[in-house]
Amino acid sequence: MKRFALACLSAGSILTSGAILQPAAAAPFCISNQLIKNQCIYYDAEQCAREANRQNAACEANPAELPLSRNVGQYCVVTSGRISNCTYFDRQTCDRDATRLHATCTSAPTRIGTGAPDPYSATNGR
């Protein structure tokens, strides 16, 4: 009986220490607006978009958890599977495709330049 109690205590302490050592991961999707600070509690893109629409907010990808791919567009369709496509130049098309894919449309973090490099630029168009 003492061995069983000791085994339970050992297993409990291992589980507890394991739970303490695990870092808490933030959700990949956040809603925010002028009144709501970032609420990064959504793991499903469609649910985030639906709740953002209900609260007159925006559903955005959490940059700490879900880095978006850089591309030429101003908007990205992001799925719950963490796949992003940042090739949309207008919000309407992005929203339409996001709805069709059960995803959300977010603002692109940066754009890759599409013009010709400027030979007089210090960074040569980069």
**Domain-located, residue 112:** no
**Domain-located, residue 2:** no
Q: Rounded CA gap, 52 and 107, in Å? A: 14
**Domain-located, residue 121:** no
**Domain-located, residue 56:** yes
Predicted confidence at residue 26, as pLDDT, reads 84
Helix axis angle for 45-54 and 91-100, nearest 10°, is 130
Q: With a cut of 70, list the residues of the chain below it in pLDDT.
A: 1-25, 111-126
Q: Please report the sign of the dihedral spanned by the C-alpha atoms of residue 88, residue 89, residue 93, residue 94.
A: positive
Classify residue 29 as exposed, middle or buried by CB count within 10 Å of its CB (0-12, 13-18, 19+).
buried
Tokens 């090739």 sit on residue: 87
Predicted confidence at residue 69, as pLDDT, reads 77
Is residue 46 within 8 A of residue 22, CB to CB? The reply is: no
Amino acid 15 reads L
Is residue 77 within 8 A of residue 84, CB to CB? The reply is: yes
**Domain-located, residue 44:** yes
Q: How many CB atoms lie within 10 A of CB 76?
A: 26
Is residue 52 within 8 A of residue 43, CB to CB? The reply is: no
Is residue 11 within 8 A of residue 19, CB to CB? The reply is: no
**Domain-located, residue 33:** yes
Predicted confidence at residue 35, as pLDDT, reads 87
**Domain-located, residue 8:** no
**Domain-located, residue 124:** no
Is residue 107 within 8 A of residue 76, CB to CB? The reply is: yes
Look over the chain and give the mean of its residue pLDDT values, rounded to a whole number: 78
- 35: containing domain: 29-107
What total number of domains does the chain contain? 1
Structure confidence by residue, pLDDT tens digits, 21-34: 434 568 999 999 88
